[in-house]
Amino acid sequence: MKSPRSDSPVSRRRFIGQISAAAAVALATRVSRAADAPPPPRKLGVALLGLGSYATNQLGPALRKTEHCRLAGVVTGDREKGRKWARDYGFPEKNIYGYDTMAQMAGNPDIDIVYVVTPNSIHAGNCIAAAKAGKHVICEKPMATSAADCDDVIEACREAGVRLTVGYRLHYEPHTAEFCRLAKENVYGPFMRINSENGFAIDPEARPATMWRLDRKLAGGGPLMDMGVYVIQAVCMAKAEAAPVAVTSKFGPVTLPKVFTEVEESIRWTMEFADGAVAKCYASYNDQVSSIRAEADKGWAELEYPAFYYDEPVLKTSQGKPYFPKVNHQVAQLDGMALELMAGRPSIAPGEMGRRDVAVIEAIYAAAKSGGRVEVKA
């Protein structure tokens, strides 16, 4: 196939006349091969929606390092901040959108994917607006604050014919992927006894801008929504992505009543699976914990603290400590998702998985309120 951008015959002949015949043959062959070669694959254009802490400190910097996607635009409520991002990341100002102008993105070929990074209860509306603009969607965790909202997002993406994935970075992290493999391939038999926890000590004074996490309307809940979703994810990984059939739950004591006026300070719950496996779980906004241990009849696997943070997780098994390379989680996730999309492969972190986890969260809150065992409608 002839490249439409190949040099004109005249200019090429003149240039060849100035070099030796052998070199000319070699060069002509190379030129013709280059003209026939497919163009290098285009990096997919990502627009970050919501330029807060995670977008600024992790996702933006990761998009400088990704091989298969790049930062092509932003959606923000603060136009001046958008201009600064355009200067820093070298994209045109026409690629800055507001939440109310996203429909105009439909005609912009620079942007393939919108990555939603706003407070939890706003995710669903943002995702639906992105889908309506014909863009693929990556939604941060938790996908929404109710399973009904997740259904609306899934339906909007299906209708628009765009892909929906959830920002579950750990699925693309090698130690965690190995933990998944051990479960999927039943290396030690099914994991039947699982313990997992995740939390951090929230400090309302240190980062006041991100304190929507303590506002029920914006966050949808407390540490269960924010940190507990990693625990639910990891436990489901240990069960080869099965959903639990039922949960029980109990809110922890409130030790900081001035801080936790709307959301729980901590919560403990159990997840029961169809094969009889039980997971004992904990999430907290007042405790620096992050780990999972899963035991089967023929062995065990454990991701030690800080299993779910941005650092390299430490994987230990009953056979030893396997080696896997350290990766930047966000780079691995963004490139992984871009490659899945370009190859037309199903995602390992699809919207349906995000919906499963939100349905589990709803059941856990219902169990904590009722004090009883609640079946999960995942």
Q: Which two tokens mark 75? A: 């959606």
Among 47, 62, 63, 117, binds ligand NDP (CB under 6 A): 117
Measured from the CB atom, is 215 or 272 closer to ligand NDP? Answer: 215
Measured from the CB atom, is 75 or 235 closer to ligand NDP? Answer: 75
Q: Which two tokens mark 31? A: 């030129």
CA angle at 332 for the pair 37 and 345, rounded to the nearest 5°: 60
State the nearest-atom distance from the C-beta of 2 to ligand NDP, in Å. 46
Among 66, 95, 108, 118, binds ligand NDP (CB under 6 A): 118
Q: Which two tokens mark 32? A: 């013709």
Q: Tell me: does residue 69 bind ligand NDP (CB under 6 A).
A: no
Q: Which of 82, 84, 135 is nearest to 110 (CA)?
A: 135
State the nearest-atom distance from the C-beta of 237 to ligand NDP, in Å. 15
State the nearest-atom distance from the C-beta of 221 to ligand NDP, in Å. 11
Over the window 194 to 233, marking each residue x when it contacts ligand NDP by CB under 6 A and - when it does not, the resulting string is ---------------xx-x-----x-------x-------
Among 7, 36, 67, 78, binds ligand NDP (CB under 6 A): 78
Among the listed ranges 23-31, 50-58, 62-70, 279-287, the one in contact with ligand NDP (CB under 6 A) is 50-58
Contacts of 109 (CB under 8 A, 6+ apart): none
Of 43, 135, 141, 239, the catalytic one is 141
141 catalytically annotated: yes
State the nearest-atom distance from the C-beta of 215 to ligand NDP, in Å. 9
The label of the residue with tokens 């965690």 reads: 176
What angle do helix axes 229-238 and 351-370 make, rounded to 10 degrees? 110
**Amino acid, single-letter form, for residue 22:** A
Among 3, 24, 52, 312, binds ligand NDP (CB under 6 A): 52
Distance CA(201)–CA(52), nearest Å, equals 20
Q: Which of 229, 308, 318 is nearest to 269 (CA)?
A: 229
State the nearest-atom distance from the C-beta of 100 to ligand NDP, in Å. 11
230 catalytically annotated: yes
State the nearest-atom distance from the C-beta of 364 to ligand NDP, in Å. 17
Q: Tell me: does residue 119 bind ligand NDP (CB under 6 A).
A: yes
Of 115, 168, 188, 230, the catalytic one is 230
Q: Which two tokens mark 62? A: 């990761």
CB contact burial 315-352 (16+ within 10 A = b; e otherwise)? bebeeeeeeeeebbbbbbbbbbbbebbeeeeebbbbbe
Q: Which residue is nearest to ligand NDP (CB)?
A: 52
DSSP track, 104-162 = GGGG-TT--EEEE-S-GGGHHHHHHHHHHTT-EEEEPSSS-SSHHHHHHHHHHHHHHT-
Measured from the CB atom, is 16 or 327 closer to ligand NDP? Answer: 327
Q: Tell me: does residue 89 bind ligand NDP (CB under 6 A).
A: no
Site for ligand NDP in 133-192 (CB under 6 A): 140-141, 167, 169
Contacts of 128 (CB under 8 A, 6+ apart): 152, 153, 156
Q: Which residues contribute to the site for ligand NDP (CB under 6 A)?
A: 50-55, 76-78, 81, 117-120, 122, 140-141, 167, 169, 209-210, 212, 218, 226
Catalytic residue numbers, as ranges: 141, 230
